[in-house]
Structure 1
Amino acid sequence: MEPILNRQWIKLVQMQHPEKLLPFARHLDDNTLAAVYGLNVDTYLTIKGLLSQQARETAKQLLADPEFADRVDHLPFKAGETVIGVGESTTDDLLSWFEILRHLLDLQRPQDEILLINEGISGQTTTQVLGRFSSIVAKQLNWIFCMIGSNDAMRVGVDPTKTQVSLEETAQNLAAIRSIAATRTKSQWVWLTPPTIDEERVAAFTYFQQSQLTWRNADILAIGDMIRKLPDLVVDVQAGFGKQTATAFLEIDGLHPTIVGQKAIAKLIVENLTGGSAG
């Protein structure tokens, strides 16, 4: 008998991955992780399976376009390489652009055995990523995709006057993170600008109202402007989403991308790494 699934359970398993927060917890078994969520193991595994299936079906939709499939064949990842995704909830999400990329490669190039490691952690700022970045680059890695900054731009309070991390501090954190990668690895680096939001939906979302949390596109766009000036390859998600983000690209909270938005990000990445948009 299939378990009855609560939408809140699905969202928790999709967006929150406590095993990533502590190094010793990385190898917790499914029974333990299910208990952390307050679920039995069958329900937990069913939810994970459904999310993985959804990400895989999204990859199949993209690969149905022969031109796009050819681009995946020509992505510059070599057989046996390791690709790391660094970021916050937009990456950590089990329906994220990174998970879609994982399925694209598994479906189109299974013989290459490219390893993708999702190092996104929901809610993290650039300061928190900097604090754990040395442990990330300790892995044998060849590519790093980095999308961070949205949580730096978060404002707290009834009439907030500052972002959680100042723009100047964000710039310093990004520079320090990139420097660590450059000095300790020979990996290829790809920046992604954090996606724009729907301010009206953010303001109307009950949880954000209760917690007095808000975001402004002006703050997020300023971080994007800074990233676009960096010397490495930049996938400009903000340009893809637009200043007025398409309704279908964002969840009801106005902040987190839907599977449609994540699919658009994955498509942008593949296009940028294979010569740009065909359109």
Structure 2
Amino acid sequence: MPERPGVAAVADQLQYVHLEKLYGYLPGIADAVPGIFGLTHEEYVAVRDRFDAQARAAAEELVADSVFARRLARLPFEPGARVLAVGDSITDDLQSWAEILRHALARTGPDVTVVNAGLSAHTTAMVLRRWPSLLHPAPDWIVCALGGNDVTRIAGGKPQVALPESVANLRELRRIAAERASVQWVWLTPVPVDEERAGRHPAFRFGSSSWRNADLVALADALAAAVDDPVVDLVSPFGVPADPALQGPDGVHPSLAGQQQIVRSLVARLSP
């Protein structure tokens, strides 16, 4: 049965906007979400299932590579481990690196639970405010991919969060987590963008939002210099500016191939 007109447009929002994460404390929010987007429950489930199927297919493609499969099997996650994926919309994406990793581990990796705690449009400061609640139940591993919204410039002005404050926020996330649980930590650097593609995108033009690769690279370098945990470099594999094949239509959110590249880089860093 064909989709109703407009479902495809709403699907683009549903890929990144998950109100049940933002307002999970509101009674009945999960049941209300389909109607908020103008969808029936069946349409809502079908849209989410389609993204999940694409993430699963991307994982299967990765696992078909024998080198990747061997590295995946050697990941240092203990059986039964809980891995918390922290980030912004690049992580919150229904076909993100976290979702692909979850499916890949379910295929051939250790018995691990991957929890997607990505929060679209969040800066490091915004996640810091929510942080204690995200640590229940306590994870065994945290993979942190924050910072892309910190460097967002509005109307050509300053970044939303200054570089020293971004680094301080990231270190504070690490400190709080260490106080509450015995947790292993991995950092993902910000992903370079396609500035021209982002500059043409209607939503970013409407919001006067822009990104500069110089800001993203500076944050990646500052992060690598400030922490002792493993850091996964995403600047080199994506390139500056980002490889057009690895960036999606808006120039900021990676394509499915880009999300696969993030998983490749993460797995290679943890099990070379």
TM-score between the two structures when normalised by the length of structure 2: 0.95
Partner of 1:123: 121
Shift of 1:106: 0.9
Partner of 1:224: 220
Whether the aligned pair in 1 keeps the contact of 2:85 and 2:143 (CA below 8 Å) is: yes
Distance 1:61 1:120 in 2: 24
Q: Which of residues 202, 208, 212 is equivalent to 1:206?
A: 202
**Helix, strand or coil for the counterpart of 1:42?**
helix
* 2:133 corresponds to 1:135: yes
**Helix, strand or coil for the counterpart of 1:122?**
coil
Partner of 2:90: 90
Distance 1:263 1:103 in 2: 12
Q: Which moved more, 1:142-151 or 1:173-182?
A: 173-182
Q: Which of residues 169, 173, 176 is equivalent to 2:172?
A: 176
Tell me which amino acid in the other structure corresponds to 1:219.
Answer: D
Whether the aligned pair in 2 keeps the contact of 1:3 and 1:42 (CA below 8 Å) is: no
* 2:254 corresponds to 1:253: no
The superposition leaves residues 112-137 of structure 1 with CA deviations (integer Å, 9 ceiling, x where unpaired) of 54211111011000000111111112
Partner of 2:268: 271
**Helix, strand or coil for the counterpart of 1:145?**
strand
Which runs of no fewer than 5 residues in structure 1 stay unpaired? none
Tell me which amino acid in the other structure corresponds to 1:147.
Answer: A
Distance 2:263 2:217 in 1: 20
TM-score between the two structures when normalised by the length of structure 1: 0.92
* 2:53 corresponds to 1:53: yes
Tell me which amino acid in the other structure corresponds to 1:52.
Answer: D
**Between the two proteins, what is the percent identity of the paired residues?**
38
Whether the aligned pair in 2 keeps the contact of 1:154 and 1:214 (CA below 8 Å) is: yes
Q: Which of residues 150, 153, 163 is equivalent to 2:148?
A: 150
Partner of 2:65: 65
Q: Which moved more, 1:187-196 or 1:69-78?
A: 69-78
Shift of 1:209: 1.5
The superposition leaves residues 155-185 of structure 1 with CA deviations (integer Å, 9 ceiling, x where unpaired) of 112x42x111111211111111111011111
Whether the aligned pair in 1 keeps the contact of 2:195 and 2:241 (CA below 8 Å) is: no
Whether the aligned pair in 2 keeps the contact of 1:20 and 1:26 (CA below 8 Å) is: no
The superposition leaves residues 189-224 of structure 1 with CA deviations (integer Å, 9 ceiling, x where unpaired) of 000001000111111222212211111111111110
**Helix, strand or coil for the counterpart of 1:141?**
coil
Partner of 2:33: 33
* 2:233 corresponds to 1:236: yes
Whether the aligned pair in 2 keeps the contact of 1:19 and 1:26 (CA below 8 Å) is: no
Tell me which amino acid in the other structure corresponds to 1:124.
Answer: H
Q: How many residues align?
A: 270
* 2:182 corresponds to 1:186: yes
RMSD: 1.6
Shift of 1:69: 1.1
Whether the aligned pair in 1 keeps the contact of 2:192 and 2:213 (CA below 8 Å) is: yes
Distance 1:132 1:174 in 2: 13
Distance 2:28 2:71 in 1: 35
Q: Which moved more, 1:91-100 or 1:129-138?
A: 129-138
The superposition leaves residues 127-152 of structure 1 with CA deviations (integer Å, 9 ceiling, x where unpaired) of 00111111112322100000111100
Q: Which moved more, 1:31-40 or 1:265-274?
A: 31-40
Distance 1:26 1:76, change over 3 A: farther
